[in-house]
Amino acid sequence: MVKRPPARKRPRKAKPGTKGLGPAECRLDQPTGAAAEVAEAIEKSGGYVVGSYKDPLGGHPLSLSILPIDAVEPTPFQRDLSDAHHKRLADVINKTGRFLDPIIAVVAPKGGFWTPNGRHRLEAMRRLGAKSITALVVADREVAWQILALNTEKAHNLKERSLEVIRIYRGLGGRRCHAFRVAVRVLPRRTCPGHSRHLL
């Protein structure tokens, strides 16, 4: 009989107003370090930094930016594009005449930008002939490897989740780093004993 792993503990509900930053604390007048490098990469690509701030939960720097749409590509290990889903998104965006849901992006290793969360929005905007796209650019590239936890615009089925974990593992060159462990933990427990869990 296969022994089931212990149930995963969820964090307790925190007391209201006890975690993160207040509105004024999120202000970031002058990005430094990795955030400054990101701002420079955005400008070099022909993009425009609308503003920079610290995210209200973890205090990590973010850049709200307008990127040239040709400078953005999905991460190479993402699930396959759903033709029906991106066409539906294009129809909705076209009807509203507004793009109100920025994609998440990181600076790609060889220039340009990757989006770990926003492939269907990106393709919908391309379908509409858009010149640029709004993005939240994250300084930490490791976020790109946490796609399974981030991507909520179209729910993954089990096959898609498993395929993405395999692609992430290959993309990392077989390294069992923290980002890969985060990706694997998103898989349902029942898939782990004979498949992905041994990679942890």
Residues 104 and 184 in one domain: no
What integer pLDDT is reported at residue 94 of this predicted model?
96
Q: What is the pLDDT of residues 4-45, one digit of tens each?
A: 666 666 677 888 888 999 999 999 999 999 999 999 999 999
Residue with tokens 């033709």: 83
Residue at 15 is within a domain: no
Distances (CA, A) of 85 to 48, 77, 137, 162: 29, 19, 24, 20
Distances (CA, A) of 190 to 2, 48, 95, 155: 11, 45, 42, 18
Residues 89 and 184 in one domain: no
Rounded distance, CA 137 to CA 150, Å?
A: 14
Place 198 in a pLDDT band, splitting at 50, 70 and 90: very low
Domain range holding 194? 156-200
Mean pLDDT of the chain: 81
Residues 6+ apart with CB under 8 A from 81: 74, 119, 120, 123
Residues 112 and 192 in one domain: no
pTM summary value: 0.70
Would you call 52 helix, strand, or coil by DSSP? Answer: strand
Residues 6+ apart with CB under 8 A from 175: none
Residue at 55 is within a domain: yes
Nearest alpha carbon to residue 53 among 31, 32, 74: 31
The CATH number that applies at residue 121 is: 3.90.1530.10
Q: What is the pLDDT of residues 139-187, one digit of tens each?
A: 988 887 776 565 555 555 666 666 666 666 666 565 555 554 555 454 4
Residue at 11 is within a domain: no
Residues 73 and 136 in one domain: yes
Residues 113 and 89 in one domain: yes
Residues 64 and 126 in one domain: yes
Residue at 24 is within a domain: no
Residue at 132 is within a domain: yes
Residue at 40 is within a domain: yes
Phi, psi of 48 (to 5 degrees): -135, 125
Q: How many domains does the chain have?
A: 2
Residues 137 and 40 in one domain: yes
Residue at 93 is within a domain: yes
Encoding tokens for residue 127? Answer: 């379908």
Residues 85 and 184 in one domain: no
Residues 168 and 105 in one domain: no
Residue at 112 is within a domain: yes
